[in-house]
Structure formats: C-alpha cells, structure tokens
Structure 1
Amino acid sequence: MKDSQVVYDFVSLAIESGGWMRLDRVYLQNKIAEMIGCGEIVDTRNQISNLSTEELCHSLVKIAKKNKPDCYQTDKDIEFLSQSLMDILTPPPSVVNAMFAKKFETSAVEATNYFYWLNQVSGYISGEEHEYDSEEEGICPICFCNEGVFVHESDYLKKTRRFIRLNLENESWGYQLNPTKKEVEEGIFFTEAHTYLFMNDYLLDRMTDIVSLYKHYELRYSSSNSFKGHSYLIGRRPQKNRLVNCHQTLPFFKDSLLSYNKLGQQELVVQTTHAKDLWLIVSYVFSLTVSLKKGLYATDFEYDLLKSDNTYQLIITIKDDSREKSKENWQHTIELLTNELEVRY
C-alpha cells in the first residue's frame, strides 16, 4: 500500500471517530505527513482500505522509521510516535464527554457501549498488563491532572486516555475504562481528589449513586484497589441471574432482607429498597461480635453493589487472603446473626 493511502485512510478514521470534520482533512494529512517524513499526499479517496486503526498506525510507524531513522531509534521514541498518532484519532475530552452525555440521555448502556468502542479504536485498551508506572515517575495514573500524560510502557498513562466527568451529589468523580481488560468492559470510578476511600456511609452513598446511574453495572469496592493511595471502584456488567434470592427478614429494617449460610459460606447478602439502610445494616452485622472481642476489619472484605428496579443488593464477601483469625470471626458473626434472628424473630 502506498504511503499516501495509509495517511488518507488513517485520517478518514480520525474524522469518523467524531473529533474532526471533513474540513480538517488537508490539515490532518499534512500534519501526519510531517510527523512520518512523507512527501506529497496524493488524493486516494476512491481506494479506501479495510485496515484497522491499529494496523494503519503500525504502517505509519514503519514509514516514519524508514523516512526519519534518526528521530525514531529507541522503543520510547517509537511508542511516543504511535501514541501521538492515535491521539490525533481520538476526540478531545470535551467532545468525548459531550457525545457520552448525549447518548446517556437515551440509554446508559448506549453511552458506555460508545465509550468502550472509542477506547478500543483509540488503542487505549491494549489488554496488556505491565507496571502502570515506574517508581521514579511518581505519577498517579487515574488523577484528573494526568489526562493525556505519556509515560513509557504504562498501561494507564497514555496520550489517548479519556475519562468521563461525573457529578455525584455536587462532588467531582471520573469514569474511565480499564486498559488491561480488552475482552470485557471494565469501568473504573474514582474521585477527582487524590483520596483513599474506606468503607463507610459516605462511600456506600456514592456507590448507590453510581449504580442508580449505571444500572447495568455491578460495582465493587476493595481496599486493595488503589493507585498510590488513590482509591477506585470497579464496575462490571453482572453475570446473568446475579441477584441472590434473599429470604431472611429483618423486621427492624423495613423492606430489607438477608441471605447467608451458617455452614461456612463466605458471603452475606443485604437486600433493601432503602439505600440509606445499607450502612445501618452493615454496621449492625459488624457490631455483633464487638463485645466478645471478635471484631471485624472492613478491609478484610470486598463489597459488590448492584441495583435491579428499585432494589439494592450489597454482597459482602470475606477475602480469600484474609487472616485466619478474621475468617473465624466472620464465621462467628454469621452464627451470632443466625441465633439473634431466630431467637428474637
């Protein structure tokens, strides 16, 4: 394929992605031609190929290495060029957020489908997993201020990184996709402030806000999910029939149910139609063993929240790598909970 054809096709995809208009074609072609040391671009509008953005970008890099060998010698130089090309193809943050918001008005699923597609086309989702950044860089890969920052061999810090701005109860949050997960859509939700989040009423309130907006996501909090002290939540599309059949009533919490197994089951499911009751129920369960000095640490658990219609389900699961003492205390808590409910109610 001629060099002109590769440039023309790449620009066509850049316009198709929504960040540019047809009026920008000549400007973009000249810009890319300068980057890769290509001569005059011949009009090839009737010969568009079917190569993917990744294949076209790879071809442009090969052309640049041939035409400007002194400029692109190291792996870092080549990666920088590749990301600079893909950054041209990716719409700027303002356009991405506007298009996402427009689609969100119709459907949250349609909006996240668009965002997933864009992240694949831009090459941000690679499916590869390295160290997200080196210690000497000291850069948080999910902070707002690092959008578009390039770090060599980083999974997250790329020129093509885009995230969606969220307003949750007048607090600024962000939503982006996990670049190491190519086969499945995995969202990441994080605060604008570089903050470590603990499981408490504040966090559960924000989690209920998110699943109320993104009802097709199951949201997970784990104390281990953080970058340099900046916590994040993981959003995934739940498995079919993920909702647990809860049967144990809680008379002191209206319209609330529990599900658990006293014979060694690792998880407890809290179901309620009142979001504010979630933390009260969790606090009640965790307080059962305090007087016996068999307390529980919130960091030993993972918390999955999902919403179906007007019902919330919070699945509390003790981590496999938790200390044996914690597992024993959790089992004792389930036993006490069973006795408490059976005796009183």
Structure 2
Amino acid sequence: MKKDGLKPPLNHSIDQIILMFIDWHVEKGKVDPLDRIYLVNQLLELLEKKDLEIESSQKTSILSHLALLDHLIKYAVDTKIIGDTSSEKDIFGAKIMNIVTPRPSEVNHQFWKLYGQDKTKATDYFYTFSKESNYIKTREIAKNIEYKHQTEYGEIEITINLSKPEKDPKNIAIAKTEKSNYPVNMLCMENEGYAGNEIHPGRSNHRIIRMDVSGEPWGFQYSPYSYYNEHAIFLSEAHRVMNVGEHAIKNLLNILTTLPHYFVGSNAGLPIVGGSILSHDHYQGGRHTFPLEYADIEQSFQLENLPDVKAGIVKWPMSVIRLQSENKDSLEQAAKKVMDTWSEYSDRSVDVLAYTNETPHNAVTPIARRREKLFELDLVLRNNRTNDKFPDGIFHPHPNVQHIKKENIGLIEVMGLAILPPRLERELESVKEFLLGGEIQVAPVHQKWAEALKEKGNLITPENVTEIIYHAVGEIFLQVLKDAGIFKRDEQGKKAFIRFLELLKKV
C-alpha cells in the first residue's frame, strides 16, 4: 500500500505527478529527452518511493511545473519525509528543482554563448531560467502590494513587501543556539547548490554566473525575492567586507561595461546608512528605471581639471551629486574627489561631523548607469551620526514616521522605491476600518496618524479610503527620504550644500 497522504489534483496519482513534472521539463526543452528515465529515478529516490506505475506517463498535465512542485512537496510533508515548516518545504522544493536544473558549468556556458550574440539575450536567458527553476520566487513576489505616488520630485514607488515568508518559531529558536561557518554568509559563492538547513535557506537550485570585474573573479545572480525587474546581485568571490571606496567606483563602471543595459549600485559601507549585508563585498543592479534616474540636475558646477565631466546637484529629497562623462577614467577621478572630500567634511550648522574621535560618519551610496555613450554616477551623501534626540540616526527616518518605516534606508530606497514591512498589510486594514467609522482597535503606533487622517475633513468612503491611506503612506515615505537627506531642501540646507560644493570645486 502506498504511503500517499496527498489529495491528487484532477484525480492524478503521485506517480502521474512525478512523471508530469519531468515531462514538463522535457516538453519545454529544459532537459534532454535522453535524461528522462534518469531524472524520474532521481526524483523517486528523493521522494523515497520504491515503485512507479509506468502507464501513468500517458496522462498529460494542464498544471504548471510549479503547481506540480507544490504537490510533490505536499506529498513529502504528508508522508513525513519532511516536516511542515516553511524552511523545510523551501529546502525540499529546491532539492526537487535541482534534479531538473542544469549544472553551473552548463548555465555559464549558455549565458556566455548568448552574450557573444547579444548581451540582452544573455540576461533574458538567465533571468527566465532563474524564475523557472523557482530560485526567483515569482509567486511569492506577486503577493507584494505595489503602487506609485506623485510628488514634487516626480513619482516615487511604494512596495509593501509580502514575499518573504515569516520565519517559523522553531527555526528562530534553533538559530539562536546553532552557528555555522559554512557558507560564510548569505551572499558568498559557496551558497551555490548548498542544501540548506534550519538556519540557512535551501540553495540546491541556485546558480551563479562567473564574470571578471576589474581583473577579479566575481559572481552575478538574481535576488530570490526581487524588489524590481531583474533584481541582480554582483558578489566578490573573495570573502571580504564591503569597501565602498575608489575601487568600488571602478568596479561599478566595469560592470556597466559588461552589462550596459543594467544599472548597478552599492549600499554605503557604514552601519545605519548601509542597509545591507556589510560582511560581504557586493553590489545590486538590474533592469529597472528608478524615480531618481528621472530626476533632473537643478544646479550645475565644474570640477577643477576635469573638463570632460559634467557635474550637478540633483533635484531630489536626499543630497545627490550627479557626474556624467564618456570617459570612465575621468569619471572615476571625479567620484574620488567627491568621496574623499565628503569623507573628511564637517558642518555643525547642519549636524554633519565627519568623525567622533576616530569613528567615521560620512559615506556615499553610489549608483551607476549608462545614458547611451555617457556613463552616469549618482553619489548620494550619507552620514550615520546619532544623538540624544535621534538615537536611531540623525539622517534616518525620524520617530514620527517610524510607524510606517523605521528600517535603514539603503540603495533601493535612496533611488525612490520604498520597501515597507509586511506588518503594514494588516495594520493598514485596521486604519481603513477606523476611518470608515468601525469600532476597531488601531495599532497604538498608528493611532495618532489615523486620528489626524480622520480629522482632515475629507469625505471618506469605502470607494476612496484605500486611495487616501496609500496617498498618506506615500507622503510619509517622501518624508523618510527628506529625513535621510543631509542638506535639507530649506534655505539653510541649500546654503550648506553650496558651501560643500565651493570646497569641492577647489580640490
């Protein structure tokens, strides 16, 4: 008797599901037909099945390979092969996908073969591949709430991130007691093909493209929970901490030369303003036009001895210097001037101090892109100082907006895409009911804000309440960016920015 606790879809048995899963990959040209029997047997072994009804292969599936994957995972749970936690299912699902996923050498060969024909074809292939192998969690990402919000700086993008599953309490408890030195972190090369465990996600189906960056071996992959189109990560093969200095600018421009249709940028290299895994040298990129890219230069200036570099202040709630040139060497020199000058710069009138004793505070979030022949760099000035009034950071979301966003403002948000926490889905629903007159307890952190929305005197109806809340959230994210800005957009801040530019122009 089969140990099959699965309720089969459309009267399909588990044997039929196994065969349909493999046959989907054969029919779509993802695996060679000659490998079919071998792959079926590999899947049988993983599912701890000793037999198979061969005639089941006559069934044709109307389900996608990911729907079939779900049933295979459920079979593993029902038959006690794995437990029913999100991490165990994720790890086992990756193992199933690994059976039909080509080896890293094959993926790299195909990528660079296509690259020789067309750079865009190569990334199209790898992005589609990463989605089909379920490394990129397309179905989870589709749960995110996304919309745009109009401001004086153009449209900004708002995302309430619902894609990442909440950690199981069992795994949280284990993570507190268990430590592992392998893989070293979530970004290093050793994640490729790693099975995973209670404290590390399953990466059996993970593949990395090898590439040269400024003469060093690097990797190129996509983010499993992408925040935007073709959300890419570039990671050093070497185990070293992030260093967002002169060499980082060289690397960003080098990556742009390899993939000119992508943008690439780095988080700042200091805590609070870093917003990332600072323990591993890496950058983020992709094929998405962020709101910052649409923003115009509102005041131009010239750097000494660099006539082929255009420079200017960008009209943006944060403090951004934009550099443009067709000459990469000149652009690197210009960026070095800005970064070196900023790293030592202080202006007490706007709470900017370069150091506290020997602890540095100034940093830069660099973003690189191509505009036809031009290389373009946006250098966003950052400072991670704290004080008694703002213990989380002077240039960090202030307490009055932390009910919506209190996490670090990293590269993605700097460019105008808000990544808001999943708690907001539930909490904003209670605010909605409150605004409509329902007797409901609003989360204490939102109470003052909800009351202020209600007192504005707007006619709130079931038809417009969501729009009112989303607009208010968008305005708060705009304020978050203003809080993170060094030189505020008021008269005092603008004069302070000019003082920095006057010093910079003389360097």
Q: TM-score, normalised by structure 2?
A: 0.58
Q: Secondary structure at the match of 2:21?
A: helix
Aligned counterparts of 1:211 and 1:12: Cα–Cα separation in 2: 39
Residue number in structure 2 paired with 1:256: 309
Task: Summarize deviations over 1:194-218 as a string: whole Å, max 9, x none.
Answer: 1123222211111111011111211
Higher mean displacement: 186-195 or 87-96: 87-96
Residue number in structure 1 paired with 2:377: 314
Q: Secondary structure at the match of 2:16?
A: helix
1:123 CA displacement: 1.4
Aligned residue type for 1:334: F
Which of 327, 331, 335 is matched with 2:486 structurally?
327
1:92 CA displacement: 1.1
Which of 286, 302, 308 is matched with 2:365 structurally?
302
1:99 CA displacement: 1.2
Residue number in structure 1 paired with 2:61: 49
Higher mean displacement: 265-274 or 148-157: 148-157
1:257 CA displacement: 0.6
Task: Summarize deviations over 1:115-137 as a string: whole Å, max 9, x none.
Answer: 12122111112243367994623
Preserved CA contact (<8 Å) 1:17 1:89: no
Residue number in structure 2 paired with 1:23: 34
Which of 189, 213, 218 is matched with 1:173 structurally?
218
Structure 2 residue 106 is matched with structure 1 residue 95: yes
Aligned counterparts of 1:333 and 1:286: Cα–Cα separation in 2: 17
Residue number in structure 1 paired with 2:499: 336
- Counterparts of 1:233-244 in structure 2 under 5 Å? 233-239=283-289, 242=293
Which of 76, 82, 102 is matched with 1:72 structurally?
82
Alpha-carbon spacing, 1:240–1:304, altered in 2? closer, same or farther (3 Å): closer
Structure 2 residue 295 is matched with structure 1 residue 285: no
Aligned counterparts of 1:4 and 1:268: Cα–Cα separation in 2: 61
Higher mean displacement: 182-191 or 246-255: 246-255
Higher mean displacement: 152-161 or 126-135: 126-135
Alpha-carbon spacing, 1:306–1:292, altered in 2? closer, same or farther (3 Å): closer
Which of 97, 120, 137 is matched with 2:180 structurally?
137
Residue number in structure 2 paired with 1:220: 265
Aligned counterparts of 1:90 and 1:306: Cα–Cα separation in 2: 32
Aligned residue type for 2:285: G
Aligned counterparts of 2:106 and 2:334: Cα–Cα separation in 1: 42
Residue number in structure 1 paired with 2:417: none
Q: Secondary structure at the match of 1:327?
A: coil
Q: Secondary structure at the match of 1:175?
A: strand
Alpha-carbon spacing, 1:105–1:256, altered in 2? closer, same or farther (3 Å): same
Aligned counterparts of 1:286 and 1:31: Cα–Cα separation in 2: 54
Q: Secondary structure at the match of 1:50?
A: coil
Higher relative contact order (CA closer than 8 Å, sequence separation 6+): 2
1:44 CA displacement: 5.0
Higher mean displacement: 22-31 or 277-286: 277-286
Task: Summarize deviations over 1:217-261 as a string: whole Å, max 9, x none.
Answer: 111111226536112101022427936655544462132111216
Residue number in structure 1 paired with 2:408: none
Aligned counterparts of 1:225 and 1:183: Cα–Cα separation in 2: 17
Preserved CA contact (<8 Å) 2:228 2:288: no
Task: Summarize deviations over 1:169-194 as a string: whole Å, max 9, x none.
Answer: 33100011111217632000011001
For structure 1, the residue ranges without an aligned partner over 5 or more in a row are: none
1:25 CA displacement: 0.9
1:45 CA displacement: 5.2
Which of 74, 80, 83 is matched with 1:62 structurally?
74
Alpha-carbon spacing, 1:95–1:13, altered in 2? closer, same or farther (3 Å): farther
Preserved CA contact (<8 Å) 1:9 1:48: yes
Structure 2 residue 130 is matched with structure 1 residue 119: yes
Preserved CA contact (<8 Å) 1:116 1:177: yes
Aligned residue type for 2:43: I
Aligned counterparts of 1:263 and 1:109: Cα–Cα separation in 2: 30
Preserved CA contact (<8 Å) 1:83 1:158: yes
Residue number in structure 2 paired with 1:229: 279
Aligned counterparts of 1:13 and 1:201: Cα–Cα separation in 2: 48
Across the aligned residues of Structure 1 and Structure 2, the Cα RMSD in angstroms comes to 3.6
Aligned counterparts of 2:317 and 2:99: Cα–Cα separation in 1: 54
Preserved CA contact (<8 Å) 1:150 1:158: yes
Q: Secondary structure at the match of 2:120?
A: helix
Task: Summarize deviations over 1:27-79 as a string: whole Å, max 9, x none.
Answer: 2222323433263232455542132222111112333445xx35334536544
For structure 2, the residue ranges without an aligned partner over 5 or more in a row are: 1-11, 142-162, 348-352, 355-359, 386-392, 396-484
Aligned counterparts of 1:307 and 1:268: Cα–Cα separation in 2: 16
